[in-house]
Structure 1
């Protein structure tokens, strides 16, 4: 028997993991729920059965029932969540910007500066704290196994704004997770980057992985000797002298992928204090220009990155869903300021 794992493609740290188990040729017939109890550490038979019912387990690409008999030469795929347990979430009344909601999912306009889920140093005030409060106001008897274990299938970084999908049922989580793995999710981001991007459009292919010295940073590895495969397609939308407005389309999704890939080609995101974009990287030496840039950084004190569009198939009826958000005020004001600078060219 062989096993391998892969992480759910998304911008931040993976919240779902895909575990692949290939059974040996001589595997004796055994119910899949019993089989998986011996393969998933700490899992109860009841939880495994719930996961199988939700479609989080497939055999040779097909969903099965708990009484399915595992035999030799089969490929079993299990989707397991790395999201915080429901016990880690304290419901809090927080402002939520809900773009769309039905019985299966929610689409959220995540505001810049909001952390998506509790973690080190951020145990309250996160999006999931607010979601927990919101859903329990709707249904005080909400099954805690649904929230947030089945809710969060991807995330966007604290200082990135834009669209985020959350599942409200186990079935929806399974369906959406598979679309992420199969690269069927449509995601376009808008970014303001330093420098005049040479090509009108292009594709960046370079593995993305943790910096081997500074573990909180990620880096591009074009030779693929480290990290995971990452592909970003970009298109220039507007040239603004020392900065460029670009659209980035994710084919894969890795931690900090856009931020790392754009820096890799010499165009760090404007305002990105993690990767050096919060200081002057292009421009003049004049004092007035420095003041202008400082004012821009005050207007948008974060990486200028916005998850503008999100498209996927609905988990219940497979209909195509597509959402689009305007730029938030801080990025709008920032871009307008650069446009006026280009027009005036007095500093």
Structure 2
């Protein structure tokens, strides 16, 4: 098993693992993974620039986006550096062969210290928001996650969340539905925003078997610099 370490922080890019086929970075809250209608420079372009500079590459740099994180969320993002690794990683995500663990800060204590939540989520594209239902409704998708309280802070509870499915705003929606909106998440019911417009949801750890080398990878993303996050360690 390989415990990966922080390798680079050039241009605010925190690289946590890099090999011939994949690169894993710690996304800052506010960065977008792929380009969108805002026209802001996406993280994928930042990573391409980093690779172009590091390896003195002429022309275009290949980079495959394997998955995304919401803009106000921070933490681990995997990119593929080769066309060989990308379909394998996509297949691993689809088969749930990649274990993703998130940390979330909530003000309200969940009724249970740990639980497995099952909802059916329906996305409303007009306001880019998902709504949870206890039973299946038209155009909804089943969403499953497990959480446990891992620390009580002065004003918040730190939850560790493991996803079984990957739905639009899944953690945000499901925790809000049980009365535990994430700190700073106005869209899903928290009472005030964070100063930097982030939400206190962090993709903390990822474990998977490397799609090419078959090595076991176990990568943890450092927490954002913030007094409340600092109290979690």
Secondary structure of 1:224's counterpart equals: coil
If you compute each CA radius of gyration, which structure gives the higher value, 1 or 2?
1
Partner of 2:118: 205
Bigger helix share? 1
| d(CA) in 2 for partners of 1:135, 1:322 | 22
Q: What TM-score do the two structures reach when normalised by structure 2?
A: 0.86
Matching residue within 1, 18, 26 for 1:109: 26
1:256 aligns with 2:172: no
Verify the 8 A CA contact 1:94 1:125 in the aligned structure 2: no
Partner of 2:135: 223
Partner of 2:206: 310
Verify the 8 A CA contact 1:196 1:239 in the aligned structure 2: no
| d(CA) in 1 for partners of 2:220, 2:153 | 24
Alignment of 1:41-52 (within 5 A): none
Verify the 8 A CA contact 2:101 2:163 in the aligned structure 1: yes
Q: What TM-score do the two structures reach when normalised by structure 1?
A: 0.59
Length, aligned pairs only: 221
Unaligned residue ranges in structure 2 (runs of 5+): 1-9
Partner of 2:160: 247
Bigger strand share? 2
| d(CA) in 2 for partners of 1:245, 1:237 | 6
**In the TM superposition, what is the alpha-carbon distance from 1:235 to its structure 2 partner?**
0.3
1:186 aligns with 2:102: no
Secondary structure of 1:274's counterpart equals: helix
Q: Which moved more, 1:316-325 or 1:239-248?
A: 239-248
Secondary structure of 1:113's counterpart equals: coil
Verify the 8 A CA contact 1:132 1:147 in the aligned structure 2: yes
Verify the 8 A CA contact 2:24 2:76 in the aligned structure 1: yes
1:319 aligns with 2:215: yes
Distance 1:108 1:337, change over 3 A: closer
Unaligned residue ranges in structure 1 (runs of 5+): 1-92, 280-293, 339-347
Q: Which has the higher contact order (CA 8 A, sep 6+)?
A: 2
Partner of 1:3: none
Aligned-residue Cα RMSD (Å) equals: 2.2
Partner of 2:17: 100
**In the TM superposition, what is the alpha-carbon distance from 1:131 to its structure 2 partner?**
1.5
Verify the 8 A CA contact 1:196 1:242 in the aligned structure 2: no
Verify the 8 A CA contact 2:29 2:71 in the aligned structure 1: yes
Verify the 8 A CA contact 2:109 2:157 in the aligned structure 1: yes
